[in-house]
Chains A and B, each alone.
Chain A
């Protein structure tokens, strides 16, 4: 099966005036399965937006290749752009036009026939709860509405690959939930989604797979479960009523808590309960959060 996105050995360096060239991406390899939600995470300046600009065909990679559903972005640029929808990080609207006009001309630029546009616009506006704003000037919308208009623009031509560059930045909780709902529904309908966010709990909730990028390099790629397993601390943490009890070999004190290295959860729990018996106040095995993995991997 052709992957939705295949990035092979991609690199990009920007020339700068009065400064050394900036190597924004180095030997990036990434593959996204069709029909999945893929999270691209990284600190500010990690290279996420540069990678998105290469995938979307705005910039050209200096090295390597990028294919969207088998279409080479550098050689089949128009065809590759046709099947992508992008929500850029920055919220930008055309000040002169109404919401409907923005969508009418933008969908036209993606080849949607004039006769089909109004029906599509109505459907997308309904999906994004913007129907009552259709005839208003885009510039008069609130920040959240402008964000929704950006999303409407990106899906009006029914793309196969949807790229959302921090779509929930600065939006309220209710709208964030709506965006999540839409993203899940689009995935269920077969759209592949590449999602960047600074909200790690968002990536945990939404993404089937996660790629971590830092200093222009992919530093980790896998499902959340894979990452949790790999970075799990493998410890059992417990508290005791009587802190003077004889310590079991391997137990390390950490404030009021104790950590015991875990190899087999059931066996280790049994060892601890047999040793400390009713002295145990609380006991748990820790699942490492994405935030901890992220901080661990991106610390300089």
Chain B
């Protein structure tokens, strides 16, 4: 059974490799543009003892990763449904958990690959010297890739068309990014928004990865780790249920 699941994973990795301009280069372009703008306007500004550019950089890396891992399975599944090629995974002897995991792992692979390329291109311009918590960083990266990859699978299974995909990207994912503390500490938000941010899964990914890299955190890092682990488990269960419901009528 592992051969079957691995073949699906390998197919999905191959798919994003074939359209690397869209899947790897485009997100990098957005990130480089953001960095250029923030690099120019931030000057010598500091956030909690951390240069603002380093603060926003770790946020942008997480945002790039989250976008890549969410959109990879979501787009692949919605396209498959529209083309009718979803029947391939319905016919093949693949367990429901295996289908979800293969797509989520492919999403995680794309996210890590995008992240690695982004780092190679941009790290030279950022005032970050060393990694504060390497093991926590590795754990945070894998968990974040899987968490949003599985969310992408859930959405890809649920969505019927591209309009639904655009809706979620515009009205859910984008606001989540802006409330995640990518560009500023969530504590600086007015009113109830710092509290609302605590319910945003993306905030905890940004927070954990920023802490693991620089040692700076908006929220207790272990709380963020706990939230990420809990959401990952919950999304895995949801993904199983949705896969069964949507692929076996």
Contacts and interface: CB of A to CB of B under 8 A. Distances in A.
Interface of A: 53, 56-60, 77-79, 81-82, 84, 86, 88, 90, 92-97, 101, 105-114, 153
A79 B92 contact: no
A22 to B, nearest CB: 13
B3 A108 contact: yes
B47 interface: no
A58 B249 contact: yes
Contacts of B11: 97, 105, 108-109
B249 A109 contact: no
A78 B8 CA distance: 15
Contacts of B91: 56-58, 81, 84, 86, 88
Given A78-B94, A105-B11, A58 B87 contact: yes
Interface string B1-45: 101101110110011001100000000000000000000000000
B22 to A, nearest CB: 11
Contacts of B83: 92, 94-95
A111 B4 contact: yes
A78 B10 contact: no
B94 A109 contact: yes
B21 to A, nearest CB: 13
Nearest to A88: B87
A108 B249 contact: no
23 contacts: A58-B87, A58-B91, A58-B248, A60-B248, A79-B93, A81-B93, A82-B93, A90-B84, A92-B84, A94-B83, A94-B88, A95-B83, A96-B15, A97-B11, A105-B14, A108-B4, A108-B6, A109-B11, A109-B94, A111-B1, A111-B3, A111-B4, A111-B93
A113 B3 CA distance: 7
Contact of A59 (B14, B92, B248): B248
Contacts of B10: 105, 108
A224 to B, nearest CB: 30
Contacts of A153: 88
B162 to A, nearest CB: 15
B85 interface: yes
A169 B95 CA distance: 32
Most buried by B among A79, A95, A96, A113: A96
Nearest to B83: A92
Given A58-B87, A92-B83, A105 B8 contact: yes
B170 interface: no
A109 B8 contact: yes
B241 to A, nearest CB: 15
A94 B8 CA distance: 13
